[in-house]
Structures are given as C-alpha cells and as structure tokens.
Amino acid sequence: MKKFSLNNVQLKNKLLITYFLSVFIPILLTNIIFYHVTINNVKKQKMHDLTLAFEQVETEFINTVDEAIGVSTTIYTDNIIHGFLEKEYETVIEYITDYESIFRNFNKYSPVYSSIKEITFYTDNQSMLFAGGIHKITEDVKTNALHQDFMLLEQSHPVLRRNVSTDTFSVIRKLDYFQNNTREKFVKIDLNTDMIKQAFNNVTFQGNIYLVGEEDQVEYSTGTVINDEELNFSKLSDIPEESITFEKEFELNYLNNWKLVGVVPENAILEEVENSGEFILYLAALNFFIPSFIIIWISSSLHSRLLRILRHMKRMKNQNFALIDGIEYKDEIGQLTSEFNRMAKKINDLINDVYIANLQKKDLELKRKQAQLSALQSQINPHFLFNSLETIRMRSLLKNEDETAKIIQNMAKLLRNSISSGKDWVSVQEELKIITSFLEIQQYRFGEKLQYGIDVDPECMELDIPYMSLIPFVENASIHGIEPKRGNGFIHLQLKKVQGGVMFTIKDDGVGMNESKLSMLLQSIHNEDDMGESIGVKNVYYRLKLLYGEYFAFEINSIMDKGTEVRIFFPSK
C-alpha cells in the first residue's frame, strides 16, 4: 500500500486543510466555549443584580417603617404625653392649654420624618376634646379591624397593619409603658403612601414585588391592584408560570410572619441573555469571516499565480514559449515568474536563432533563386524586344542618325542588366538608369504618344533598394496602361525620402482597371503558392516580402479610363 504523503496533495487541497485545521475548527471551538461561558456569566450576573435590587427594596421598606417605629417608641416612653392622656381635665380651657403646650413640640416629628403622614392618639379619657389628632375610643373604634388586631397582642410591641378602606399602612402601638395606667390608650402612625411606593418601585428590579402579610394575604403589590378585598398570594393571576421567585421573611417583631416576594419572568432574564448571545454570535461571525477572507485572499494569490506558471510550463512541450503577462511582483512567486519568462525567452531566442533561422535562410535562398530566374525570364518581354529591334532596324535602314545609336545603346544596357544575376541590392541611382533606358526605348517606339517625368529627392540617390524592383511597374504602366490608350499618355515616377525609408510612386493616365479586375490582380499578387506564370509585379512583391517581411508597404489604386497608381514603401536597411 502506497504511503500517504502531503507532497502528493495538490496545493489547493493543502491550503484547504491548513484553513480548516488552523482557522475554522479552532475558531469554532473557541466561540462555542466562549458562548457558553459568557451566557452562564450573564445569567449569574443578572441573578446577582436582581438579588441586590430585591434586597435594596427590602432595606428601603424597612427603613421607611423603622422611622415610624422610632417615633412610636419615643411617644411610648414620653412621660409628658402619658400624663396628658391620663389627666382628668376640669375645664376646657385647662385641656386646650395643655394641648397647645404639648403638641406644639410634638408636631416637630412630621416635617423631620418624610415617611410619616399622620399621627393619631386613641384614648377613653372622657374629659378630653376629641379633635386635632385625639380620637375617642368608642364602640365603633373597638370594632375596627386595627383595634381588634391590637387587642390580640399580649405585649406592647408595635405592629404594622394596612387599612383596607384607605389603602394606608399604619404602625399601631399600645401606650402602657408606665405603671400608673388608668386609661386605655394607643397611638396610630400612618405611613406616607408615596414613600412606600418609592421603596417598592425599584427600576433595576425587572419584575413585580409583593408584600405578603399574615395568612399569606397580599398587603401591597407593584403589579396587581390591591382593592379593599382580601387577596391571597397563591390566588394571584398575574404571576407567569415560568418565573423566578425571590422570597425573604422579615425577622422583626412588628413584621412577624410578613415576607417580601419578588417575581421575575424568565423571559426578562432570557431576553438579556439572548441579546448577549446575539452579540457573541455577531462577534464570532466577525472573528470567523475576517480571518477566512484574509486567508482566502492570500491563498488565491498564491494558488492562481502558481497555476498560471504551471499552465505555461505545460505549453512549452508544444513549443509554445509565450511569456506570462502581468505585473512583475517582488515576492518569491513573482521572482519565479520573472525567471520563467527569462528562461522561455532565452529558449525561444535560441530556437529562432539556430533552428528557424537556418530554415528561413534555406527557404529564402531557394525563393530568391526562383524569383531571380522568373525575373530573368519575364523582366524583358521577348515580344517587346522583337518589336524594338525591328523598329530600330527599319529606322536604321531609312536613316543614319545618332538617335538610333542611342536606342541601340539603351537596349544593350537593358539586356546586360537583365542577364546579370550577381547583385541583390543596387542604389536608387543605378535603378533609375535602367528605368530611363527603358522609357527612352518606349518613347522611341511610341513617339509623342508616351511622355514621362521622373521626380527624385537627392537624398534618395545613394540609398539601396532591391535589384530590378521598379522596372516591372514601369513596364506595366507603358504596355498595359499607355499602349492600349487612344491618344497620348503620361507616366510620372516619384522617389521621395520619408521617415524610415523611401516612398516610390508611379502613376499613369492610361486605360486603368475596373474594381473586379483590380481585385483579381491583388488576389493573384498575394497568392504565394502560384509561381508558374507569375511575372513582373508578382515577382517583385514576393521578393520584397522575403527581404523586408512585414515592414514594407504595397498599394495599387486604379480607375477605369483614368489610370493606375502604384505606391511602394522601402524600409531603410
């Protein structure tokens, strides 16, 4: 069995393995652990906050009641108030005098203690005027629930009771501190309802708080409205089934068997936990996607560029040495790309210099010899030579002139240049001598029918062009352009120095060609395979293409009955 090796795994799969083992799985496990730890901590913190808020409500409520208890104790041990309530008054004036003297100082308690709303004394002393906080204990009062509750107490401890009819909490205490008690008397201190509400309405406790008295009766609630009917805590309908309950029994004599109950719906806690959970999930997603994006971005930079290098290397076996395009980066892959391009260019240059160059050289030599042979056979039309010689002969018989001698001299030049194959390049000046000889012969043949003009830049005279590359176009202009024309004709030659080479233009006003014939001529010229019947223009075009490649320009324009224009651009050697 073949042993597994990471070296056999593709780079893309290696990057994926690295990503999952180094990023995805660690981040996933870390976020799961972090999520559970955070959720538990949020729950604990929330329960702790609710406990503190609940204890704060308890403390503020006890402090509110303790103020009234403290005042009741002061009154309970006050000898002056005891004497005032025990004294038998003979006259009304005597009572009013004592009342004003005592209660002027007594009223100081109300402004100092904001939790106290009103202080009322109850007594069976018939000699007193029952007004201004002094009430008579009558049969009606004795039947009052507060008095009945008080009468059940064996000791003089203060008790807290709620008056159902007025929805007021009161501290009631029997005044029997002194030994010489001859009358029944007690004090009732009504608590400020706003202070009670302020103690219970703790904004940080997200639930309802119930003050439950003896026999499980709800005395106060921040949720359920307590009316004048007794309401048992177990019968409350606004307590959710799924809720968290906080309960604390008061360890005070005046709150014996009383307790404080806080009820918080679970969804209030779960909502905050869910909010924290959502935040953790968003944070986890951020921690996951940002590193993932960065790793994918970096991995794609590595993988795509390496694949591009691999594709180009595979193409080299098919002799495709194309370079890798793009910016040359400075990292290791960028350096590898640069070295690959350098190697491919070097190999391609070597192949071109050694192998292809030899093939092209042999092919060029073969084509050159074939073109020269064809040029030798076609440059001077045998029919033209026959007619020229016949004309010269007839003229020579009729006249003995210098003109005839010159024509014969021109013919000798043409024949000598036609059969000479030792040169590939000649100067413009030498080529013009051949053209001039040819045109003088043609002018001798046609007489006044053929006129010509030659315009040459002096800078062009010493420039080299391919041998016998212009004469075929001059021959075509005279034979195929002017000769068939009725009337006189004119041939204009121009050689002009332009940027990068020489521009040759030959223009005649002969018979011209229609578009169909011109198209067939151009198609025949560009067909390199057919060399058998190629003459003149085609031979020159192919020779120029072999010598200059794609750097020369060739153009023919012709209009029927207007003439023909040929333009050739010869690049500088």
**How confident is the model over 80-104, as pLDDT tens digits?**
888 898 899 989 899 999 888 887 7
Give the model's confidence band at 571: pLDDT under 50 very low, under 70 low, under 90 confident, else very high: very high
Which 3-state string (H, E, C) describes 185-201? Answer: EEEEEEECHHHHHHHHC
Mean pLDDT (the chain) is 79
Mean pLDDT of 196-203: 78
Regarding beta strands 185-191 and 116-123, do their DSSP bridges make them parallel or antiparallel, or are they unpaired? antiparallel
**Both structure tokens of 50:** 């609710």
Of residues 529 and 548, the one with the higher pLDDT is 548
Mean pLDDT of 257-263: 86
CB 233 within 8 A of CB 215: no
**In the beta sheet, which residues pair with residue 427?**
464
The pLDDT of residue 567:
96
In this model, does residue 444 exceed pLDDT 90? no
Determine which of 230-239, 304-313, 527-536 has the lowest per-residue pLDDT on average: 527-536
- Could you check whether 46-206 and 379-571 share the same CATH topology? no
Helices marked H in 379-480 — which ranges?
382-398, 402-419, 428-446, 471-476
**Both structure tokens of 162:** 């709620």
Task: Give the architecture-level CATH label for domain 379-571.
Answer: 2-Layer Sandwich (3.30)
The pLDDT of residue 54:
86
CB 224 within 8 A of CB 149: no
CB 119 within 8 A of CB 189: yes
The pLDDT of residue 422:
59
The pLDDT of residue 532:
43
The pLDDT of residue 290:
84
The pLDDT of residue 534:
42
**Can you state the angle between helices 402-419 and 428-446, rounded to 10 degrees?**
130
Query: How many Å from the N-terminal Cα to the C-terminal Cα in the chain?
Result: 68
Would you kindly state where each structural domain of the chain is located, as residue ranges?
A: 46-206, 379-571
Of residues 464 and 252, the one with the higher pLDDT is 464
In this model, does residue 414 exceed pLDDT 80? no
Task: Give the architecture-level CATH label for domain 46-206.
Answer: 2-Layer Sandwich (3.30)
Nearest Cα to Cα of residue 240 among 202, 214, 280, 267? 267
Mean pLDDT of 141-147: 56
Q: Could you please report the per-residue DSSP string of 290-337?
A: HHHHHHHHHHHHHHHHHHHHHHHHHHGGGT--PPPPS---SSHHHHHH
CB 407 within 8 A of CB 442: no
Nearest Cα to Cα of residue 116 among 186, 191, 202? 191
Distance CA 146, CA 188 (A): 9
Distance CA 417, CA 414 (A): 5
The pLDDT of residue 280:
79
Strand order in the sheet with 208-212: 218-221, 208-212, 259-265, 243-249
The 8-class DSSP code of residue 385 comes to H
pLDDT tens digit string along 315-361?
A: 877 777 788 787 777 777 777 878 888 888 888 788 777 776 677 77
Of residues 336 and 561, the one with the higher pLDDT is 561
Regarding beta strands 501-508 and 489-498, do their DSSP bridges make them parallel or antiparallel, or are they unpaired? antiparallel
- The whole-angstrom distance between residue 498's C-alpha and the CA centroid of its chain comes to 54
**Both structure tokens of 422:** 């030792």
Give the model's confidence band at 488: pLDDT under 50 very low, under 70 low, under 90 confident, else very high: very high
